[in-house]
Structure 1
Amino acid sequence: MMDDKEPDAAGLERREMLLAGGAALAAGLVPAPLQAANRNSSALGARLQGVQHFGLTVQNMDRAFEFYTEVLGGTEVMRDGDFQGERIHNTLLTDQEIEARERGVNPRTIGVPDLLGGSQRLDVRFVQFDNVVIELLQYRDASEPMGGPKSFAEPLDHMSPAFPRMMHICFHIRDDVDFNRFIHDLETESTRRGMTQVRANRVMTVTSEKDRLAAPMEANSNPITEGKSNGWRLIYCKGPEGEQLEFVQALGPVKKTFDDALAARRKLVVAR
């Protein structure tokens, strides 16, 4: 039996060929069809470029768009809509259609819009931030105008980050920003625009909305000063649609942890 620490000549030759092939691929010396063939046979993670966007289904498209662009400062990438028909319906809703049939119920009763027949339509808008895109989606009846306040289904009344399957959007506050002041200004600007759902938590115990509003500004964020998360500052907040948001600031040791992880990730991607 061969010693695992001493590869045979064939193994060395194969390894050298793989290394040479990887170097040629990185240098752009491999013909495009061969590059594609190599990529398509590689690990799944090597075929990804990363996260392209987060999607949020909203009740009021114009209100949500105003919040993510005018309040939080994102920029519009594009908008499209009035989507209907068999292909888009099946693309988005096949799983829910099958579930309805297995339950023996009308798909509409479990929140499946009729894009197939066109009774409902789908509109989308994409908003660009520095490192990610957010997609806003609105399902509406065909008779309702694009961007209006009426959606196909009612929003969930109770949203908790403790629910399995619940997701949130996290925004990264710049290093030199006063976090507590940012939260104060966010709530003030949102209230001015009539977005009363935009409410951030407090780190002190409050038992009413009046108490929450009366809390001192230093209660607007939670600074972590020990352990692996040392340097992390955060607070959870609801958006104008009742969606779960988070705002974070990463400084000190935890900033280095994330920066090192990103640098290691970039090296890994280049080596693939």
Structure 2
Amino acid sequence: MFRLMLCVSSLFFLALSLSHGREIASNLHGIAFAAVTTENASRAAQWYSDMLGAKHLTDLSFSFYGDEHYNRFFQKEILQARSLGVDPDTLGVPDISDAGNYEVRGEFVLFDNGLVQLIEFARRDTPEHITYPKYIRLTGPGVLRAAQICLWVKDDVDFNQFVDELERKSVAGGYDKVIFNRKVEEPNEEAARNASVADKGITLDSGNFAGLSFAYMKGPSGEQLELYKMVNETRYYFGKEYCKRKGVTTAFLKNYRDNDYKKRAGLTGQMWGLVQFGTRTDDMYGSVNFYSNVLGSQMMEYPMQAIDLHGDIFMNMLYQKETLEAKRLGVLPRDFGILDVSTDSGNRIDYRFNLFDNYHVETLRYTDGTTLSGPSFPGHYNHTSLAYIGDMAVAFHVNDQADLNQLVADVERRAEDQGFQGVKANRVVDVHTLGEHVDLEDYSRPFTSGNLEGYNYVHMKGRTGEHMMFVQFRGAMGEKIKKAMLEYGAVSTAWRETNPWTYGGYDEFCSKYPAPGAQTCNP
């Protein structure tokens, strides 16, 4: 199921990663948060905290609207609507302008090595809770630009029991959109829920990913989630890359102790935080180059690269919900965003890990054929707006001392120099074309009051059109987040107090790995 990639390819992309993106990378502290568009942000936050042991940062709850936020969130779609002569609403854009009737509401929850931002676009002209009524029809993980969050289950936990318990608690709590796939084929969702505990996850016992257990599921708003547990070879190789990058995670931290939030969640709070933000691409190497050469990620070396992944158990685990739904609706699986990657299908999945300071951006390609030269699976979201429930964005954490607007302008220029012409940020002000030249101060403007005082953000589409953000946590908001991290025991390279590398927290763990210059392709 996994075929080895030529070592020379790994070294080639590693060399590119080291030679480009350094200036931008030096001003990034990894991934600040993964943003999820929800039906109800506060209820979603309750699921992440009650079920998974995250800390709900209630002093950062927010709501806002206005012309500048309308432009910052949806400028690409607004310009497209103008060119087509249609109302932006037809392209999935809620009117959060001064004259509109929607607003952005949101919550933050904190895990060990990062935040999850939960947002909703809700009516502001009524006391009733009415969320923008746009839903994604194609929910499968193989859809182009689809995103997912992967959560890291602790080493000593029975993985299948963890999945079973999380599912049971979610159902009991009334979270009916939380649905888990199985590795075996099931006739309906009821049968899937009642499947044997032994069939609720996949564990690889051999090959390059020996020691990896994983499961696919939907979150409380139908967002795509994944669970990882990593022991043995997989844990070794992941650990090696974190040590080389000087990345941060509690999984490798000396003298780590559980906090009360995890303890209250019980078994399903036994987690190390976040593993990766996954996104689908139509060009594997183009996307890897974007994250490494433009943003300065570290591509994980051989053998941590999935090559030609397929098989019946993977087909079931990836697509069971969508397969059952397509059957119920009488829709052809391909038309429902499902690529057949079963054992004899002749199709494949490949992915690479792009490590930032705290976790990865995983780039995945679903290929309609046996080789990477074959066509990318054509399924794609029929929209580009972030307002569709279940959509996600990855937000990169910009150094407090950096000029956010200048950094974003540098990203645009670097991307263009590398041949990524469509990577353009939205502006605060109205423009005629996406990426139009404006003064730097018109890229973004920070919040000066309220719970988000000191927060600033810029929205951008990535190389394949994936949702990206660049954010800063300055002033009052930065102090709140740092305080919450210290209380939770979370780690980050953003502050000296939250970075275990400043006090030798990883010295013992990383002493088992050779220096980067001494590493070879075959450990």
Provide the TM-score with structure 2 as the length reference: 0.41
Residue 431 of structure 2: which of 206, 231, 234 is its match? Answer: 206
- Gapped runs of 5+ residues in structure 2? 1-155, 166-262, 491-523
2:335 and 2:379 in contact (8 A); partners too: no
Aligned pairs (5 A) from 1:175-254: 175-209=400-434, 212-254=435-477
The alpha-carbon distance between structure 1 residues 245 and 36, as it changes in their structure 2 partners (threshold 3 A), is closer
Q: How far apart in 1 are the matches of 2:374 and 2:293?
A: 18
The alpha-carbon distance between structure 1 residues 91 and 48, as it changes in their structure 2 partners (threshold 3 A), is same
Q: How far apart in 2 are the matches of 1:70 and 1:51?
A: 24
Structure possessing the higher radius of gyration over alpha carbons: 1
What residue is the counterpart of 2:485 in the other structure? Answer: 262
The alignment-based identity, stated in percent, is 30
1:69 and 1:75 in contact (8 A); partners too: yes
Question: What SS class does the counterpart of residue 263 from structure 1 fall into?
Answer: helix
- Gapped runs of 5+ residues in structure 1? 1-34, 268-272
Aligned pairs (5 A) from 1:118-137: 118-137=345-364
Determine if the alignment matches structure 1 residue 159 to structure 2 residue 387: no
Q: How far apart in 2 are the matches of 1:104 and 1:155?
A: 20
What residue is the counterpart of 1:139 in the other structure? Answer: 366
Q: How far apart in 2 are the matches of 1:143 and 1:81?
A: 11
The alpha-carbon distance between structure 1 residues 98 and 231, as it changes in their structure 2 partners (threshold 3 A), is same
1:61 and 1:149 in contact (8 A); partners too: no
Q: How far apart in 2 are the matches of 1:189 and 1:154?
A: 29
Q: How far apart in 1 are the matches of 2:397 and 2:432?
A: 28
Question: What SS class does the counterpart of residue 427 from structure 2 fall into?
Answer: coil
1:59 and 1:155 in contact (8 A); partners too: no
Following superposition, the deviation at residue 261 of structure 1 comes to: 1.1
Q: How far apart in 2 are the matches of 1:149 and 1:132?
A: 30
Q: How far apart in 1 are the matches of 2:317 and 2:308?
A: 15
2:274 and 2:359 in contact (8 A); partners too: yes
Following superposition, the deviation at residue 160 of structure 1 comes to: 0.8
2:367 and 2:374 in contact (8 A); partners too: no
1:76-115: CA deviation from partner (whole Å, max 9, x where unpaired)? 1231120111111111111111112111232122121111
What residue is the counterpart of 1:98 in the other structure? Answer: 324
Which amino acid counterpart does residue 271 of structure 2 have in structure 1? L
Q: How far apart in 1 are the matches of 2:366 and 2:349?
A: 5
Question: What SS class does the counterpart of residue 227 from structure 1 fall into?
Answer: coil
1:60 and 1:150 in contact (8 A); partners too: no
What residue is the counterpart of 2:394 in the other structure? Answer: 169
Following superposition, the deviation at residue 157 of structure 1 comes to: 4.8
Which amino acid counterpart does residue 287 of structure 2 have in structure 1? A
Aligned pairs (5 A) from 1:83-94: 83-94=309-320
- Say which structure is richer in helix: 1
Q: How far apart in 1 are the matches of 2:269 and 2:481?
A: 21
1:59 and 1:149 in contact (8 A); partners too: no
Provide the TM-score with structure 1 as the length reference: 0.78
Question: What SS class does the counterpart of residue 245 from structure 1 fall into?
Answer: strand
Which amino acid counterpart does residue 254 of structure 1 have in structure 2? M
What residue is the counterpart of 2:286 in the other structure? Answer: 63
Q: How far apart in 2 are the matches of 1:230 and 1:190?
A: 31
Question: What SS class does the counterpart of residue 240 from structure 1 fall into?
Answer: coil
Indicate the larger mover: 219-228 or 180-189. 219-228
Q: How far apart in 1 are the matches of 2:347 and 2:157?
A: 39
Q: How far apart in 1 are the matches of 2:335 and 2:379?
A: 12
Following superposition, the deviation at residue 240 of structure 1 comes to: 0.7
The alpha-carbon distance between structure 1 residues 161 and 50, as it changes in their structure 2 partners (threshold 3 A), is same
1:59 and 1:154 in contact (8 A); partners too: no
Q: How far apart in 1 are the matches of 2:421 and 2:383?
A: 16
1:120-167: CA deviation from partner (whole Å, max 9, x where unpaired)? 20001111100111111110022442xx58311243352111121111
| Larger RCO, structure (CA 8 Å, separation 6 or more) | 2
Question: What SS class does the counterpart of residue 223 from structure 1 fall into?
Answer: coil
Question: What SS class does the counterpart of residue 115 from structure 1 fall into?
Answer: coil
Q: How far apart in 1 are the matches of 2:368 and 2:157?
A: 43
Aligned pairs (5 A) from 1:4-83: 43-77=266-300, 78-83=304-309
2:280 and 2:363 in contact (8 A); partners too: yes
Q: How far apart in 2 are the matches of 1:115 and 1:150?
A: 14
